[in-house]
Structure 1
Amino acid sequence: MMLLITAGARLRAAEAPVNPPHLFAAPAQVRPLNIAIYDGPGSGEKGIKSVTKRAEQLPGAKVTALEPEEIGTRDLSQFDIIIFSGGSGSAQAKAIGEAGRKNVRQFVEHGGGYLGICAGAYLACAGFDWGLGILNAKTVSNKWKRGGATLQMQLTDDGKEIFGDVARPFSIRYHNGPIIKPLGRADLPAYRVAALFRTEIADFGSPKGVMVNSPAAVYTTFGQGRVITISPHSEDTPGLENVVPRALAWLGEKETVATAK
């Protein structure tokens, strides 16, 4: 019997369903990608290492760590994709400053890819005055601290086009990632949902009942570029080693993306 996390309750690691080894297949026929990853305040060292390891699984991929000042001063057009990993989205925004935020926005607008994981997903949202404004989304509550647990996540049909044909829910580590809903800005395309949370945690006074069936991963366009945000942490969840590589492979494509209306 699959155990669900109800509001305010944790699913202990010993009880969490275990994913099959390498549940997601590696992407096929990926061109060599030049990838930047933010490395500075607001991003944990462990998370950066885990995400970098996943990115380097792609044949021919080159991953370059960028410090905060480089985000605002460097010519990002030499990269195909930029990644912001877990930590604190507001701290990342503060560290890179307005110059950095503007440079990342222009990079994506001109055709670059953006992968935001947990904090990086917060950073992408247009619903914060400190955000990048490349994702037409806001959080359902300002009480972002929900806690950490192993949750269940499930791909949508749209998500299967990016991550592969995995039909059943699977386990994934969650730690205070964003729970989002549409912002409704007319000047930004609506996002498409790639995966949904199927269980929830709601500690520390966060709202109950808002997480189940809410977006766990979404994708969109911004100008000529592509954006994927993932709220939980596949990069260090056993069996999900190819989720980040598949996201990066999709971001590195150049075809037009259909977005929601």
Structure 2
Amino acid sequence: MRFGELFVLLMLSTGAIAKPPKAFVWRGKPGTDAAFEGLSEAAADLLRTSSVKYDVEIVGPYEKRDINRETLNVREVSLILFPGGGDLSPTWKQTKNYKRLIQEYVHSGGHYVGICLGAYLAGHDPGFELLPKGSDTDQYITSSKSSLKTEDDAVVQVDYFGKESMGEKRWLYFQDGAIIKMSPKALQEATVLARYSSNQFPAAVVFPYGHGRVGLIGPHPEANRSRGRGLDEPRRSKF
């Protein structure tokens, strides 16, 4: 089973799915960072092609529909995903007004997925503050024993704890992604799906927030083969 596929399934509430659930994928101002063009679409494809086959809509302030209390509600939308992007500071300026809305949506039973920049957005100061107290995100490249020290694009090895796997090694596209630093108490309620192989910091985690769930991923399981082409990837496996 693909890394991204299992992650999507973990995000779902238990129970039968009567119809394809609705998912929102957020996209910011077009053209602000050419290096990340297409990541919203790639994340949308990940959701559409999973076994759940989400009905996906890309939303945002420059799209046909933005998110607000009318559009983002648990009766209509099962999941909202914030993908990778540029720097945290300019993106936070675009998203800070969503903070209370996102908190209320997830607390009432919705699901939040953050990939790379989207994971940073779930943290504190600045961020949506979806992580429990005593937990936060931080840069992998500045963590102890990290295998990378550059913000340039690369691939990173993770230990993947899949449905039938206990620490299988996988390579994922990476660009200054986050580690998810969970407090001991928070880890008791969380599911760690992957850890960075070099230092065992969590790279992908799902945890509860009120009646909903939050899933954060530091690398890019949604990245297609065009990203990272030509990089040193000695044992790259399926995304």
TM score, norm. by length of structure 2: 0.70
Choose the corresponding residue for 1:83, options 64, 81, 84: 81
Question: What whole-Å deviation, never above 9, does each CA across 1:199-250 have from its counterpart, x for those lacking one?
Answer: 3xxxxxxxxxxxx211110111111001110000111255544xxxxxxxxx
Kept after mapping to 2: 8 A contact 1:152/1:172: yes
Match of 2:213 in 1: 226
TM-score of the superposition, structure 1-length normalised?
0.65
Question: Is structure 2 residue 182 aligned with structure 1 residue 182?
Answer: yes
Q: 2:205 & 2:47 partners in 1: Cα distance?
A: 19
- Residue 90 of structure 1 and its aligned partner are, at CA, apart by 3.6
Q: 1:143 to 1:198 in 2, by over 3 A?
A: closer
Identity across the alignment (%): 27
Higher relative contact order (CA 8 A, sep 6+): 1
Contact 2:106 2:209 in 1 (8 A): yes
Unaligned runs of 5+ in 1: 1-21, 200-211, 242-261
Q: How far did 1:180 drift?
A: 3.1
Unaligned runs of 5+ in 2: 10-15, 143-148, 226-236
SS at match of 1:134: coil
Q: Find the aligned partners of 1:213 and 1:62 in 2 and give their Cα distance.
A: 35
Equivalence for 1:166: 165
Shift of 1:193: 2.1
2:48 aligns with: 56
Distance 2:176 2:139 in 1: 12
Would the alpha carbon gap of residues 81 and 89 (structure 1) be closer, same or farther in structure 2, given more than 3 Å must change?
farther
Shift of 1:33: 1.3
Per the TM alignment, residue 181 of structure 1 is displaced from its structure 2 partner at its CA by: 1.7
| Alignment partners' CA distance in 1, 2:208 and 2:164 | 23
| Distance across 1 between alignment mates of 2:125 and 2:83 | 20
Query: CA offsets per residue over residues 54-75 of structure 1, 9 Å max, x none?
Result: 1111354211111138234543
Structure 1 residues 240 and 71: alpha-carbon distance in aligned structure 2, compared to 1, 3 A threshold:
farther
CA RMSD for the aligned pairs?
A: 3.2
2:25 aligned to which of 13, 37, 40: 37
- Residue 154 of structure 1: CA displacement? 1.0
1:67 aligns with 2:32: no
More displaced 10-residue stretch of structure 1: 172-181 or 223-232:
172-181
- 1:121–1:230 Cα contact (<8 Å) kept: yes
1:227 alignment partner AA: V
Q: 2 CA distance for matches of 1:180 and 1:104?
A: 19
